[in-house]
């Protein structure tokens, strides 16, 4: 697995990077590749639609410098912004057992393990893709698969400021609220019975490192050579 840290990248530029790498992985010219990055503010609409869950006009978004982009991943509406860690795995599924369902489950497992390492308890919610805490949805997921190679991926909220979600109904779920790594650690540190050492708040680089390590731990043991 090759892991590339792209830094802060506009959404369409990152999508072009994915598609270029997708073609190379499909042709056998590059290994499975994981892109780690952040996006400037953008709202994306998946194959499941989402305009009905957008609470601001395109003109309002443009005036605030927020892009609105239809995309080819599954799922409904979501958003990206600095302080959110985005991971795009461009992986060959024909070299892994279990197909798309197993791949998606393993992506959730990566995030659950990474969050546990920084002190955040999270898990799955029946019938609701992604990763959840007691406070809300901390990681959204949506993938596309073309000729058995994946692209798109996951978005993990790290920083406290998740205000961009106020402009949408998160993933089209009326009762869903966003959670974040730093918000969860804040809540844990202020909860009765948890008053001890101050919690450690991982920065973006630490979260990238932890997530990359868990991607290797979960995915590489299952890869077989064709």
Cβ atoms 202, 171 nearer than 8 A: no
- What is the domain-level CATH number for residue 130? 3.30.930.10
Q: Tens place of pLDDT for every residue, the chain, 226 residues?
A: 999 999 999 999 999 999 999 999 999 999 999 999 999 999 998 887 788 889 999 899 999 999 998 888 877 889 999 999 999 999 999 878 888 999 999 999 999 999 999 999 999 988 888 999 999 999 999 999 999 999 999 999 999 999 999 999 887 777 889 999 999 999 876 555 555 667 899 999 999 999 999 999 999 875 443 3
Catalytic site residue from 66, 77, 171, 179:
171
Cβ atoms 88, 35 nearer than 8 A: yes
CB atoms within 10 A of CB 60: 12
Overall domain count for the chain: 1
3-state DSSP percent of the chain in helix, strand and coil, to 5: 35, 30, 35
Which pTM does this prediction carry?
0.91
Active site residue 171: yes
- Domain hosting 123: range is 2-222
């Amino acid at each position: 697995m090759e892991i590339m840290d792209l830094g802060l990248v506009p959404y369409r530029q990152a999508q072009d990077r994915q598609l270029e790498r997708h073609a190379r992985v499909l042709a056998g010219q590059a290994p499975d590749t994981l892109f780690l990055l952040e996006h400037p503010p953008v709202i994306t609409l998946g194959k499941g639609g989402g305009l009905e869950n957008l609470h601001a006009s395109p003109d309002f978004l443009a005036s605030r410098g927020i892009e609105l982009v239809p995309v080819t991943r599954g799922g409904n509406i979501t958003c990206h912004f600095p302080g959110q860690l985005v991971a795009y795995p461009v992986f060959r599924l024909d070299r892994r057992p279990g197909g798309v369902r197993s791949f998606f489950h393993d992506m959730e497992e990566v995030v659950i393990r990474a969050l546990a390492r920084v002190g955040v308890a999270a898990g799955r919610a029946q019938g609701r893709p992604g990763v959840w805490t007691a406070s809300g949805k901390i990681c959204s997921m949506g993938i596309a698969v073309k000729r058995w190679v994946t692209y798109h991926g996951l978005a993990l909220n790290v920083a406290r400021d998740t205000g961009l979600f106020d402009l949408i109904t998160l993933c089209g779920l009326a009762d869903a609220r966003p959670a974040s790594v730093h918000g969860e650690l804040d809540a844990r540190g202020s909860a009765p019975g948890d008053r001890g050492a101050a919690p450690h708040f991982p920065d973006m680089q630490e979260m990238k490192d932890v997530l990359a390590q868990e991607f290797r731990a979960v995915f590489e043991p299952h890869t077989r050579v064709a």
